[in-house]
């Protein structure tokens, strides 16, 4: 399913929630990032039809979202809030939510059972939500979000409070949904977890869209911060002297003890093209090469902080 | 590892409207209310059924034993007519108020407190589905203490009668009961839901509901020299409207249309409050 935002704005009196957003989200997993107060929750609420845009419009598969509850048939939403229906058991909660989607009782129960199993909650399904830990609540919320097999999933901080095993299986599940062609939007502030799920992000701050697309492509576009490349090789002195001759290489840090050099380049593409040739010509054995700031954390840092 | 195409994954499914979402909300809620307040509900139903059994015995004695009865004082001379059924329904008003408080005060207040509305409205649930579903819960229990016993009494009378004279004369009583019951349930149930949506908790919704019912009632009794004040009492207006529907002498001096107008106003105001308060998310400015 395709989500399209056009000049989307939402303000609460004088406070701007989101400001003039334009983006397209298609199938796969998209990370929805931003610091606290950036407008992530406002945007999620707009996307799930819970808030009316002050200006502009939002479409899912060409259909407007606001006041169109039928489109929510295909939407699964795992809210960040977890204080609700404490008196229901986990299973009752998931099957009641399925009934709201129009499933007959027997089918709702069957699907609820499947969703509960998917989230590894069988053992606790007949206990009241009130007695659940934060992680269990999170898993049961995920279960209700995925139970009706939606094509579009909005997950607001889905890994909050989960134990490491739960996190791992949920990350795998989210990736699996993306691979199946579902559109999954994950809002989180835990960057490394988002990075494990996807390379595609939507980064907002102060209600404005800062970046949209692949993390590595976005990183390349950030020309105010040269890309760092760390190399471990056998002839660090030779490589350092050679690299310093390149115009795009802005600095080289040498660590002789570990045979490691870290350079900063303003043209990563050119650099990566030339490096193999350079290594061949000088008979340099490169053991490893990585970019310490070519990741989500760095992109987030450079654009937001 | 499968290879997925890099283009858009198209979805060819069909979206469908589910016309019975309100019923799902209502049915689930009816069950939940029993689960939460079982003991109080049973107690209330036992108490509310006492007048029913008394009236049923009266019907039996009057119909089967007739004027020859000297078993119970007062049965002699009692007639089973419109006033008998109207009196029963009006007498059940006390239980109707109690059951509406018990089942309706927390219905929306608790969900707003838990911020659960955003979970509802992230599902294919409209405002009408939600309000309709919640109203069904209140109306179901209200029906059990008012209309159901009222209609049963009428059926008992018809079944005990040896001929069709009673049915031919009073065939319209069930319709009057239905109209009176619906007006009472919609007015009081709607008001309770509106207060539940506006209040911060179950207790405060219940207290405000009682104050709204009691205060104008007390005021109208204090200012009894000005009969028009009675219009502002929901209970008095309901009684006056009931008397009009059953065609029995009016208990108050104010005009019936004023009472009907008042009740419509309460229903309208309740609706406005519900619309203003039932929103998926609360925006804190």
Range with the largest mean pLDDT of A169-173, B60-64, B67-71: A169-173
CA-nearest of B28, B158, B132, B229 to A100 is B28
Judged by CB atoms closer than 8 Å, whether chains meet at B8 and A73 is answered as: no
Listed by start position, the domains of chain B span 21-277
C-alpha angle A54-A56-A57 in degrees, rounded to nearest 5:
105
Give which of B9, B13, B109, B284 to mutate to test A binding, by max A Cβ within 10 Å.
B9
Range with the largest mean pLDDT of A155-169, B10-24, B59-73, B238-252: B238-252
Other Cβ atoms less than 10 A from the Cβ of A261: the count is 20
Q: What percent of chain A has pLDDT over 70?
A: 97
Q: What residues contact A280, with CB distance under 8 A and at least 6 apart?
A: none
> How far is Cα B3 from Cα A287, in angstroms, rounded to an integer?
31
Q: What residues contact B156, with CB distance under 8 A and at least 6 apart?
A: B56, B59, B60
pLDDT tens per residue across span A152-199: 999 988 888 888 888 888 999 999 999 888 999 998 877 778 888 888
Nearest CA in chain A to B20: A102
Coil, strand or helix: which one is B34?
A: helix
The whole model's pTM is what? 0.78
| DSSP string across B143-203 | HHHTHHHHHHHHHHHHHH-SSSHHHHHHTTHHHHHHHHHHHHHHHHHHHHHHHHHHSSSHH
Kindly tell me if the per-residue pLDDT of B59 is higher than 70: yes
Residue A305 confidence (pLDDT): 63
Residue A38 confidence (pLDDT): 82
Contact criterion met (CB below 8 Å) for A33 and A188: yes
Residue B12 confidence (pLDDT): 60
Its ipTM equals 0.73
Residue B173 confidence (pLDDT): 94
pLDDT tens per residue across span B2-44: 444 445 555 566 666 666 788 888 988 898 888 778 889 999 9
Q: What is the mean pLDDT of chain A?
A: 85
Which of A77, A85, A181 is the closest to B114 by Cβ? A85
Mean pLDDT of A92-109: 89
> How far is Cα B29 from Cα B130, in angstroms, rounded to an integer?
11
pLDDT tens per residue across span A233-242: 888 888 888 8
Kindly tell me if the per-residue pLDDT of A145 is higher than 90: yes
Q: Out of A120-129, B62-71, B105-114, B251-260, which region has the weakest mean confidence (pLDDT)?
A: B62-71
- Neighboring chain A residues of B124 at a CB cutoff of 8 Å: 69-73, 100-102
Nearest CA in chain A to B12: A1
The count of CB pairs under 8 A between chains A and B is: 107
Residue B4 confidence (pLDDT): 46
Distance, in angstroms, between B270 CA and closest chain A CA? 22
Residue B142 confidence (pLDDT): 95
Nearest CA in chain A to B279: A50
Contact criterion met (CB below 8 Å) for A124 and A92: no
> How far is Cα B36 from Cα B103, in angstroms, rounded to an integer?
10
Alpha carbons within 13 A on the beta-carbon side of B266: 27
- Neighboring chain A residues of B8 at a CB cutoff of 8 Å: 2, 26-27
- Neighboring chain B residues of A50 at a CB cutoff of 8 Å: 118, 121-122, 279-281
Distance, in angstroms, between B111 CA and closest chain A CA? 7
Coil, strand or helix: which one is A297?
A: helix
Question: Residue B65's pLDDT band (boundaries 50, 70, 90)?
Answer: confident
Residue A184 confidence (pLDDT): 93
Question: Residue B1's pLDDT band (boundaries 50, 70, 90)?
Answer: very low
Nearest CA in chain A to B128: A69
Judged by CB atoms closer than 8 Å, whether chains meet at B121 and A73 is answered as: no
Mean pLDDT of B89-109: 93
CA-nearest of A165, A163, A140 to A79 is A140
Residue A134 confidence (pLDDT): 87
Kindly tell me if the per-residue pLDDT of B284 is higher than 70: no
Residue B6 confidence (pLDDT): 47
Question: According to DSSP H, which parts of chain B are helical?
Answer: 21-36, 38-60, 82-91, 93-104, 109-113, 117-120, 127-145, 147-160, 165-170, 173-198, 202-222, 234-246, 256-277
Kindly tell me if the per-residue pLDDT of B285 is higher than 50: no
The 8-class DSSP code of residue B228 comes to: G
Nearest CA in chain A to B280: A50
Judged by CB atoms closer than 8 Å, whether chains meet at B8 and A85 is answered as: no
Q: What residues contact A82, with CB distance under 8 A and at least 6 apart?
A: A134, A137, A138, A141
**B contact residues 162-221, partner A, Cβ 8 Å cutoff:** none
Mean pLDDT of B183-191: 96
Kindly tell me if the per-residue pLDDT of B282 is higher than 60: no
Question: Residue B112's pLDDT band (boundaries 50, 70, 90)?
Answer: confident
Which of A2, A70, A75 is the closest to B122 by Cβ? A75
Kindly tell me if the per-residue pLDDT of A9 is higher than 50: yes
Contact criterion met (CB below 8 Å) for B243 and B250: yes
Residues making up chain B, counted from first to last: 285
Which of B24, B36, B119 is the closest to A87 by Cβ? B36
Give which of B37, B115, B120, B124 to mutate to test A binding, by max A Cβ within 10 Å.
B124
Q: What percent of chain A has pLDDT over 90?
A: 18
Tell me whether strands A227-233 and A63-64 are parallel, antiparallel or unpaired.
Answer: unpaired
Distance, in angstroms, between B82 CA and closest chain A CA? 43
pLDDT tens per residue across span A261-298: 888 888 877 888 888 888 888 888 888 888 777 766 77
Question: Residue B204's pLDDT band (boundaries 50, 70, 90)?
Answer: very high
Question: Residue B274's pLDDT band (boundaries 50, 70, 90)?
Answer: very high
Residue B147 confidence (pLDDT): 94
pLDDT tens per residue across span A12-47: 888 888 888 888 888 899 988 887 778 888 888 898
- Neighboring chain A residues of B119 at a CB cutoff of 8 Å: 77, 79, 81, 84, 97, 144
> How far is Cα B179 from Cα A300, in angstroms, rounded to an integer?
64
Which of A12, A15, A50 is the closest to B280 by Cβ? A50
Judged by CB atoms closer than 8 Å, whether chains meet at B15 and A101 is answered as: no
Residue B201: left (phi > 0), alpha (psi -120 to 50), or beta?
Answer: beta
Between the alpha carbon of residue A294 and those of residues A10, A29, A270, A291, the distances in Å are: 33, 20, 16, 5
Q: What is the mean pLDDT of chain B?
A: 86
Judged by CB atoms closer than 8 Å, whether chains meet at B124 and A88 is answered as: no
Structure-block tokens of residue A205: 């701050």
- Neighboring chain A residues of B36 at a CB cutoff of 8 Å: 87
Structure-block tokens of residue A105: 């009782």
Between the alpha carbon of residue B83 and those of residues B143, B173, B249, the distances in Å are: 20, 10, 9
């Amino acid at each position: 399913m395709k989500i399209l935002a056009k000049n989307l704005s939402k303000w609460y009196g004088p406070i701007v929630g989101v400001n003039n957003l334009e983006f397209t989200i298609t199938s796969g997993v998209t990370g929805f990032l931003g610091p606290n107060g950036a407008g992530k929750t406002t945007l999620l609420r707009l996307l799930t039809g819970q808030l009316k845009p002050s200006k502009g419009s939002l479409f899912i598969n060409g259909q407007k979202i606001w006041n169109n509850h039928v489109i929510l048939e295909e939407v699964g939403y795992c809210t960040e809030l977890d204080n609700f229906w404490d008196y229901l058991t986990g299973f009752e909660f998931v099957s009641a939510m399925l009934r709201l989607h129009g499933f007959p009782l027997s089918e709702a129960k069957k699907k609820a059972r499947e969703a509960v199993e998917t989230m590894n909650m069988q053992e606790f399904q007949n206990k009241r939500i009130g007695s659940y830990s934060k992680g269990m609540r999170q898993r049961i919320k995920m279960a209700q979000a995925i139970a009706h097999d939606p094509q579009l999933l909005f997950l607001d901080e889905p890994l909050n409070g989960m134990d490491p095993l739960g996190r791992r299986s949920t990350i795998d599940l989210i990736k699996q949904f993306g691979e199946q062609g579902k559109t999954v939007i994950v809002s989180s502030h835990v960057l490394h977890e988002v990075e494990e799920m996807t390379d595609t992000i939507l980064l907002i701050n102060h209600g404005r869209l800062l970046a949209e697309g692949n993390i590595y492509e976005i990183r390349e576009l950030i020309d105010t911060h040269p890309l760092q490349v760390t190399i471990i090789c056998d002839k660090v002195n030779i490589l350092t002297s050679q690299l310093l001759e390149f115009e795009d290489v802005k600095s080289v840090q040498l660590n002789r003890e570990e045979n490691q050099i870290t350079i900063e380049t303003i043209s990563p593409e050119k650099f990566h093209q030339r490096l193999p040739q350079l290594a061949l010509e000088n008979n340099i054995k490169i053991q490893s090469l990585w970019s310490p700031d070519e990741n989500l954390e760095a992109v987030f840092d450079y654009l937001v902080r | 590892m499968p290879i997925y195409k890099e283009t858009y994954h198209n979805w060819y499914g069909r979206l469908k409207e589910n016309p019975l979402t309100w019923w799902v909300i209502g049915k689930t809620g009816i069950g939940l209310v029993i689960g939460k307040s079982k003991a109080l509900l049973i107690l209330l139903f036992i108490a509310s059924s006492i007048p029913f059994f008394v009236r049923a015995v009266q019907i039996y004695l009057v119909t089967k034993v007739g004027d020859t009865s000297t078993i119970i004082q007062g049965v002699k001379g009692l007639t089973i007519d419109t006033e008998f059924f109207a009196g029963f329904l009006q007498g059940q008003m006390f239980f109707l108020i109690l059951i509406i408080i018990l089942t309706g005060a927390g219905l929306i207040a608790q969900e707003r407190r838990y911020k659960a509305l955003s979970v509802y409205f992230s599902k294919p649930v409209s405002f009408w589905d939600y309000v309709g579903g919640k109203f069904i819960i209140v109306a179901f229990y209200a029906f059990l203490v008012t209309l159901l016993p009222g209609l049963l009494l009428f059926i008992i009378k018809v079944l005990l009668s040896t001929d069709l004279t009673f049915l031919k004369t009073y065939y319209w009583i069930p319709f009057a009961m239905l109209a009176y019951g619906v007006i009472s349930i919609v007015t009081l149930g709607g008001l309770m839901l509106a207060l539940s949506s506006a209040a911060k908790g179950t207790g405060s919704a219940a207290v405000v509901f009682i104050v709204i019912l009691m205060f104008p009632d007390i005021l109208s009794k204090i200012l009894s020299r000005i009969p028009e004040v009675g219009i502002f009492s929901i209970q008095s207006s309901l009684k006056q409207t009931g008397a009009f529907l059953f065609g029995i002498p009016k208990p108050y001096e104010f005009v019936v249309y004023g009472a009907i107008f008042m009740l419509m106003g309460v229903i309208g105001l309740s609706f406005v409050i519900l619309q203003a308060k039932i929103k998926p998310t609360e925006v804190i400015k």
